[in-house]
Amino acid sequence: MSNTQFDRRDFIKTALAGSAAVSLASLAIPAMARQEAHSSALHYGPMPGIAKLDANENPYGPSKAALSAIMKASQQGGAYYAYETGLRLIDMIAERYSLKPENVTLSSGSSGVLTSAALYASQTGKILGPDLFWDTTALAPHNQGKADILRLPKTNDLAIDLDAFYEAITDEVSMVQVTNPNNPTGRALDPVQLEKFCIKASKKCLVLVDEAYNELTDMPEKHSMIHLINKGHNIAVGRTFSKIYGLAGMRVGYLLSSADNIEKISKFGMGGYAMNQAGLAAAIASFDDNAFLTFSKEKIEQGREMVMSAVKANGLSALPSTTSFVFVNLGDVNADKFRAEMKAQNVMIRGVYRDYLSWSRVSMGKIEDVQKYVNALPRALDTLRNT
């Protein structure tokens, strides 16, 4: 379907989901971040000397092509609503995955569409997820006073047990959410087993697969479940330009599913003129920028190897990762205390997730910043173990 055939009013109504849904999910800036932002003059990115390894960003982006597109879009299109640019990106996404434009909806980062999916699902049941996954958007119904997420029991290796997942789908479950590769564990599921699970589970309810880190896996197409949409299965797949594309600050994401699902899910977003010219232009310029994607992936893999070597050298262990972060087992050290000690050394990482008290997530950044983590790691451990 061409842009001229695709009704602009329908696009404005349903395709640009997200900003309101994000606010409904309470995806607000943490108080600490707000305080730090107001403590100095406006500054983009980390302050000089700070290794920012806490948000799974790609500091090597935006690419040169994206920066050029951002400038042009801002100069020539900044005064105008961006739905025409959004239609262009929708067409590109649909063509790549052999889908139709009505199978695609955009939002401000993938947070918007994932939140809309959660709110849609909550109208008829509950969301089932692993014990540990990126659940911020799935918590949207809870934040509105509705049911909590149903979670699978913990596993010893922090992996997702797909058989147990399937058995846990009861009549009260309206959507299953799988993050693959998972965040914060970094693990990727076996694609053959995941496909079998999705086909079976989608006969019972909607299956939402969050593929934010798909491009970082060894074989992205093999690990993706997008092909199941065209086969008629009740699947939705979320993607984002925030990770490997280096556009976290430009806020562009999308959801792929059946036309019926897209229409229903989009009703729980803001709709209207929700996107911005610069972000959409950057996404369009980045979508086929394979040279930049290859460069970024190499840097991320180099950083992961550095972290894994440092973890081993300090007597710790970490889960195998196919993402832009590593989940480190600190043993007898509390992750929040470790985070504070690393911050004292100008290295920003994540602290405790739920009740995983000794697990610490570190993102990959510029190689010199990853080296700061490597250098600070033994000092932080020594300080904490000797106090």
Instruction: Report, as an integer, the average pLDDT of 160-173.
Output: 97
Q: Residue 5: pLDDT above 70?
A: no
Residue 23 confidence (pLDDT) above 60: no
Contact 307, 323 (CB under 8 A): no
- pLDDT score for 43: 83
DSSP conformation letters of 97-119: TT--GGGEEEESHHHHHHHHHHH
How many residues in total does the chain contain? Answer: 387
For each of the domains in the chain, give its residue range(s) and CATH number, in order of start: 9-31+62-287 (3.40.640.10), 293-385 (3.90.1150.10)
In this prediction, residue 148 carries a pLDDT of 85
**Does residue 272 surpass a pLDDT of 50?**
no
Return the number of other C-beta atoms located less than 10 Å from residue 43's C-beta.
10
Summarize the confidence of residues 97-123 as an average pLDDT.
95
- pLDDT of 22 > 90? The answer is no
Report pLDDT for 18. 44
- Predicted local distance difference test score (pLDDT) of residue 273: 55
- What pLDDT score was predicted for residue 9? 43
Q: Give residue 243's pLDDT.
A: 98
* pLDDT for the residue 36: 55
**pLDDT the model gives residue 41:** 72
- Mean pLDDT within 238-253: 97
What is the reported pLDDT for 147? 79
Q: Which residues contact 236 (CB under 8 A, 6 or more apart)?
A: 117, 206, 207, 208, 209, 229, 255, 256, 257, 261, 265
The pTM (predicted TM-score) of the whole model is 0.91
Task: Supply the pLDDT for residue 113.
Answer: 95
CA atoms within 13 A on the CB side of 79: 2
Say what the pLDDT of residue 8 is: 44
Give me the mean pLDDT over the 254-272 stretch: 90
Q: What is the 8-class DSSP label of residue 241?
A: S
What is the arithmetic mean of pLDDT over 190-198? 98
Q: Residue 3: is its pLDDT beyond 70?
A: no
Across residues 136-163, what is the average pLDDT? 92
